[in-house]
Amino acid sequence: MSTRTDLSLAQRKRQLVSDELTESALQLLALKGFDAVTVDEIVAAAGVSKRTFFRYFASKEDVVVQFLADMGADMRAALAERPAAETPADALLHTVRVPVTTCAADSERALRVVQLILRTPALHARFLERQAQWRDDLAAELAARVGLDPEADLYPRLAAGTALTAFHVVLQRWSASDAAKDPVALLDEAFTVVARALDRPQ
């Protein structure tokens, strides 16, 4: 999901291998279930050695965790790029819309990954851990936008947490519909419910 620029040739090669491993693992995990897939199957599908796999990932769970880490980095970058004059509610909507739009653009693949995460307790737990980190990252970015201390003021974390709760609920609803519902439309609907709470009280 991330846009990576200015990488050296060696870094690009590493990224290509990492991406190939990630894609192979996610396809197998979504098809057969998390517990049924072995690392041997992943490396066979990716056409690399087991040693190469462990050079990039400590476990098959870490493949999905890295996918989630990229998602969080993209959201923080999106919030940093929003116009300064934009309201916090609009800025957070456009921030969370980044991964949701990606899901909509490649719904078949994204649906497999989202359902895998939400239906596998170990992965769902890691997803919630990541969301806690995303909340802190977005809160820091939001605090800088509005001139608040993210440690001393409640607003930045509450607003970031509310936006991410909307994001999570949308993924759950979209996943449960087997992608029959439009995730972007669901997100817009969710933000009409929470938008007033997201804008900083005056």
Burial of 194 (0-12, 13-18, 19+ CB in 10 A): middle
pLDDT higher than threshold 80 for residue 43: yes
Q: pLDDT tens digit string along 152-181?
A: 999 999 999 999 999 999 999 999 999 999
What average pLDDT does the structure give for the chain? Answer: 89
Judge if 46 and 88 occupy the same domain: no
CA-based torsion, 134, 140, 144, 146: positive or negative: positive
Judge if 174 and 74 occupy the same domain: yes
Q: Is 101 part of any domain?
A: yes
Judge if 41 and 104 occupy the same domain: no
Q: pLDDT tens digit string along 81-132?
A: 999 999 999 999 999 999 999 889 988 888 888 898 999 998 899 899 989 9
Taking CA atoms, 56 is separated from 62, 69, 71, in Å, by 9, 14, 18
Cα angle 21-23-29, degrees, rounded to a multiple of 5? 95
Q: Is 3 part of any domain?
A: no
Question: In the listed set 56, 77, 92, which residue is the last one of a domain according to the structure?
Answer: 56
Q: Which residue segment(s) compose the domain that 31 sits in?
A: 9-56
Confidence (pTM): 0.82
Whole-angstrom Cα distance, residue 175 to residue 198? 25
Judge if 150 and 134 occupy the same domain: yes
Judge if 132 and 175 occupy the same domain: yes
Judge if 13 and 64 occupy the same domain: no
Q: Is 2 part of any domain?
A: no
Q: Is 1 part of any domain?
A: no
The single-letter DSSP state of residue 109 is H
How many domains does the chain fold into?
A: 2
pLDDT for 201 equals 62
